[in-house]
Amino acid sequence: MFYCPWMRILVTGGAGMVGVRLAERLARDGVLADRPVGHLALADIVEPSGPVLADFAVDTVVADLAAEGVSGELIADRPDVVFHLAAVVSGAAEADLEEGYRGNLDGTRALFESIRRIGRGYRPRVVFASSIAVFGAPLPEVIGDDQCLTPLTSYGTQKAIAELLLCDYSRRGFLDGVAIRLPTICVRPGRPNRAASGFFSSIIREPLNGEEAVLPVPDDTRHWHASPRSAVSFLLRAAVIDTGVLESRRCLTMPGVSVTVAEQVEALRRVAGDGVVGLIRREPDETIRRIVAGWPRL
């Protein structure tokens, strides 16, 4: 095969919070796996904004992965690494079954199939952003490497199916995949999205901005968090890891910090005072409580 000294990278979901930060990190580092980055493509259903300063070419594409032919166009220049971050978030996937399966399953299958159809020895590293939502209660206190996948939401089910596809396509030699099960990313910057876990960030972010935030679950709710910076580091590590040591276990659960909502609120109080904490309004939501209660805590 022809060897190119510089690396081509594709990021699906490039307009999302993690995708934006991943692109910024790649622009800052300029290399991946000891090879200089020569081209970065960012694709999403809305126009991504590429990094302002990059010493390599950056293309942004508005793309719906589940639409006919779109994935093939994105893969046509044979990227060396594909970061597959595009997803319909948990709350939206639970509220709209068809939208969730179309975005999280059909789009992923289309991407993997486009890679397979190129053939001729093309076997890129594919880093898939999965989720701890693939696990469901009842759960042990600590999630081990052998924990069964028992999702209790449509979103978790869609991520679990995509993990199985990634492993099977890797086993058959079509791609070289690694799935990273991310904890809830907190604190997420920007505006709230439709993720069921979004309030974990909102109860910190909005009060610090002088805005009211809704807390839909009890204060003793415990959950598992990682920072946006950690999420990017996990993805980059997955892009260079020796998958030979993983054998058939290509889906890795990432570490995080386990805290209760009460501990989050107390940390906010220490930093910003009672007045800021007073902007949190408790408004129970049984649907969100049920979804979050089924996720791992540690």
The alpha-helical segments, DSSP class H, found in 48-147 are 70-75, 90-95, 97-101, 107-118
* Contact between residue 73 and residue 2 where contact means Cβ atoms under 8 Å apart: no
Whether 155 sits among the annotated catalytic residues: the reply is yes
> Which position among 101, 122, 155, 169 bears the catalytic label?
155
> What is the secondary structure of 184-216 as a DSSP string?
EE-SPPSS--S-TTTHHHHHHHHHHTT--EEE-
* Contact between residue 174 and residue 117 where contact means Cβ atoms under 8 Å apart: no
What span, in angstroms and rounded, lies between the C-alpha atoms of 242 and 87? Answer: 26
Determine the distance from the C-alpha atom of residue 259 to the mean position of all C-alpha atoms in its chain, rounded to a whole number.
20
What residues contact 114, with CB distance under 8 A and at least 6 apart? Answer: 71, 72, 74, 75
CA R_g for the chain: 19
> What is the secondary structure of 231-285 as a DSSP string?
HHHHHHHHHHS-GGGTTT--EEEPP-EEEEHHHHHHHHHHHH-HHHHTTEEE---
Pairing of strands 7-12, 35-44: parallel
What span, in angstroms and rounded, lies between the C-alpha atoms of 119 and 172? Answer: 12
Q: Could you tell me the two tokens for 236? A: 């980059």
Residue recorded with tokens 């109860």: 203
Active site positions, annotated: 155
